[in-house]
Amino acid sequence: MPRSFIDKERLTSFPAVTQRMYLWRRSASRKWFASNQLRLRALALDQLAIIERSNRKRLQLEVAAKSRFELQKLANEFGGRIENLPRNWLKRWLRQKTKPLTIGQRKLVIPAGAAFGTGEHATTAMSLRLLEKLTRNWNPSWSMADLGTGSGILALAAKILGARQVAGIDNDPIAISTAKQNARRNKIHGVQFRVSDAVTAKFPRNVDVVTANLFSELLIEILPRMKSARRLILSGILCSQERDLRRALARHKIDILEARRRGKWVAILAGRR
């Protein structure tokens, strides 16, 4: 799923990985979510995770917090349930098995966990295919920054595909902890995962590829910072928002090289010719 990227704290670790965590959850129809999303987002801010599985019609909505009190207003207004996660919740999720992703000649194992994605969502799957196709004949000296890295799938895939320098950036410390666990699980070294936000995150100006699986409004906002990259792989774009993003790319003189669509989602490969 595309990730919101607002929190501007710069952290290097997150002790809550081993502390008590709480999770608000509810299942919702698309119609219900469309009617309630503005209020829901106002209460949840950037902590709302919207989980859409290809074999299910309903959405799973989740918000994590360090205290039950932070989630009680959501439960009072929208129903659902608040779960008290065990202290070893991260390790438990990482033990869950999922179908390995095939990246080039290698299998990448991303366990299900914390709503950060296993590569099955359309936005991630399309980005993976664009990245593999783009770099297939590149020399193994290219660099990449992955904004909204989540489980670290695109960043880890970049290493498998031959990238020399890779940075995975996310504003959620739990996501970064999960991404580091996935790197260790797959014995992939050299990816620099760090907590930051897309608006202020620092990455080399001459980076070859920037991947960004974010909401389209944020993609448009940070285009001026990304346009110096050789290539952009942008996803998290709804079909209804594609026109606005195309106009923003044109304003910045960035060409669309390829666009892919799956269901209501769009992924775009862009860059200067």
Residue 150 has pLDDT above 70, yes or no: yes
Provide the mean pLDDT of the chain.
Answer: 81
162-176 pLDDT per residue, tens: 999 999 999 888 888
Q: What residues pair up with 61 in beta bridges, in sequence order? A: 26, 50
Per-residue pLDDT tens over the stretch 95-139: 555 566 677 667 676 665 444 454 557 788 889 989 999 998 999
pTM for this one?
A: 0.65
The helix or strand, by DSSP H or E, that contains position 125, with its residue range, turns out to be helix 122-135
| Rounded Cα–Cα distance for residues 50 and 196 (Å) | 21
pLDDT above 90 for 4: no
**Quick one: which of 17, 181, 151 has its CA closest to 85?**
17
Expressed in angstroms, the distance from the first to the final Cα of the chain is 29
| Tally of CA atoms within 13 A in the half-sphere of 89 that contains its CB | 19
Phi and psi at residue 116, to the nearest 5°: -90, -5
Tokens, residue 129? 């295919």
pLDDT at position 209, please?
A: 97
Please state, in angstroms and rounded to a whole number, the distance separating the CA atoms of residues 129 and 122.
Answer: 11
Partners of residue 63 on adjacent β-strands: 24, 48
Q: CA 88, CA 84: separation in Å to the nearest integer?
A: 12
> Residues with Cβ < 8 Å from 187, sequence gap 6 or more?
none
Selected residue with higher pLDDT from 107 and 184: 184
Q: What's the pLDDT band for 57 if we cut at 50, 70, 90?
A: confident
Q: Which of 8-12, 67-71, 206-210, 244-248 has the lowest mean pLDDT?
A: 8-12
Average pLDDT, integer, range 76-103:
69
Q: Can you give the pLDDT at residue 66?
A: 81
Nearest to 130 by CA among 240, 243, 232: 232
